[in-house]
Amino acid sequence: MAARFRFALALPLAVLLALVLAPPPAAARVFDPETFTLANGMQVVVITNRRAPIVSHMVWYRVGSADEVQGRSGIAHFLEHLMFKGTREVGPGEFSRIVQRNGAQNNAFTSFDYTGYYENVARDRLEVMMRLEADRMANLSLAENEVLSERDVILEERRQNIDSRPGARLSEQLGAALYLNHPYGRPIIGWLHEMQTLTREDALAWYQRWYAPNNAILIVAGDISAAELRPLAERYYGAIPSRPVPQRLRPQEPPPQAERRVTLRDPRVAQPEFSRAYLAPGRHSPGQEHSYALEVLADILGGGQTARLARTLVMDRELAVGAGAYYDPDAVDTTSFSVRVNARPGVDIAAVETAVEEELARVVRDGVTADEVARSIARMQAAAVLGRDSIPNAARVFGEVLSTGGTVDDVEAWPDRIAAVTADQVNAAARAILRPERSATGLLLPQQQQ
């Protein structure tokens, strides 16, 4: 039930797409899904894959931590945990026991923009999973003692995954520095002092506000067709009444005017780290015409051992042991483009920073070449072949796109759109985004000696 963080703590959707989308001929379909909408407004996507008698059953809600009320950070992730605490029909802890008895794997996740729940299960056990998931969509029951106990769980999760990991703390601080006004600057898991005050009433209010079938997407991938799934979807999910759901109104970023800088020192740091994040357009925010080019730019700069950053900093100059670039285009609002470099032991982090800035400046000044773009696209498409048949990943790709404002056609058209990116487009995107005033820089360093 781990939260998802935008700053290099999880795979951006560009990578997930590269894992599941093969390069078909122009205008070809990728997954060729079937879709329909229930009478209550719930969107349903079916991705048929008959290779094995299994299915991945996922319910995505169009709500995440960026929709939280100021001062109640962490409630989206907290409710994700509490959704396993039972209903009037299913007692506390029984949900997971039923899933296990039916040989399924299940979990959940929270992001800035969505919350998702899934079960991977044999085809003949799908109906059991649908009954359970629909029940907790409509009939969640929370006892006070269960809420308080689970609050201790998420507090401990934060201590283990954030507070005790210097790199995660730097990512958190970098996000807070990059976003001056937008809630993407808050950690998904929440700020500790606000998490400590979350109540049963907060959780139920969040549930009643957002957890409605007309705010949800059902995605089932695997050994099933829409004709086979539809009666089950109508029986279990279609019986849940729709409810009014508020608009996702969020404060937006002011025009960036100054670069920001964060330095975090910790005695546990053995390997200094350099990070830089830039405010960048996503698929649905101003500047969206750069989004596909930014995917290619991220691959050229940091998409493997032969990418520019790794070749220059790791192999040629031996300043670092690892370097990467990250871009997540599928977000409701302005997203980020970031680079991260782990310094080689004994190397001054200032030398690493200078080398990164030189490489980024070279991209902006001289641009990338048509050959680099062609190789990058080929790399992304070759990686796609390896994972196209992954049933859970196929469902996840659709969930991330649809829950952030995209369409089924956006997923199906991705190979053609990425293949159409030109060097001129990549260079225009680099000049527009890799600007100092759009950036926040983070340094992770050992504790200074007293």
Note the pLDDT tens digit of each residue in 65-81. Answer: 999 999 999 999 999 99
The answer to whether the beta carbons of residues 149 and 78 sit under 8 Å apart is no
Number of Cβ atoms within 10 Å of the Cβ of 334: 21
CA dihedral sign, ordered 11, 132, 51, 415:
negative
Number of Cβ atoms within 10 Å of the Cβ of 236: 20
Nearest CA among 109, 112, 108 for reference residue 96: 108
Q: How far apart are CA 327 and CA 280, in angstroms?
A: 8
State the catalytic residues: 80
- Reported confidence tier of residue 376, pLDDT bands at 50, 70, 90: very high
Topology of domain 260-446 in CATH is Cytochrome Bc1 Complex; Chain A, domain 1 (3.30.830)
Q: How far apart are CA 153 and CA 168, in angstroms?
A: 19
- Taking each helix axis as running N to C, give the angle between helix 144-158 and helix 75-82, from 0 to 180 degrees, rounded to the nearest 10: 120
pTM for this entry = 0.92
Q: Read off the tokens for 150.
A: 């689970």
Residue-level pLDDT at 387: 53
Q: Which amino acid is at 160?
A: Q
Q: pLDDT tens across 103-156, in order?
A: 999 999 999 999 999 999 999 999 999 999 999 999 999 999 999 999 999 999
The ranges assigned to domains in the chain are 13-236, 260-446
Residues in Cβ contact with 81 at an 8 Å cutoff, skipping those fewer than 6 apart: 1, 108, 150, 153, 154
Q: Say whether 260-446 and 13-236 share the same fold.
A: yes
Q: Read off the tokens for 87.
A: 């209903």
Whether pLDDT at 420 is above 70: yes
At residue 340's C-alpha, the angle toward residues 347 and 11, to 5°, is 145
Residue-level pLDDT at 448: 75
Phi (first) and psi of residue 430, to 5 degrees: -60, -45
Residue-level pLDDT at 148: 97
Q: pLDDT tens across 8-25, in order?
A: 333 344 444 444 444 444
Least confident interval from 183-192, 238-247, 377-386: 377-386
Topology of domain 13-236 in CATH is Cytochrome Bc1 Complex; Chain A, domain 1 (3.30.830)
Q: How far apart are CA 392 and CA 121, in angstroms?
A: 11
Q: pLDDT tens across 255-313, in order?
A: 999 999 999 999 999 899 999 999 999 999 999 999 999 999 999 999 888 899 999 99
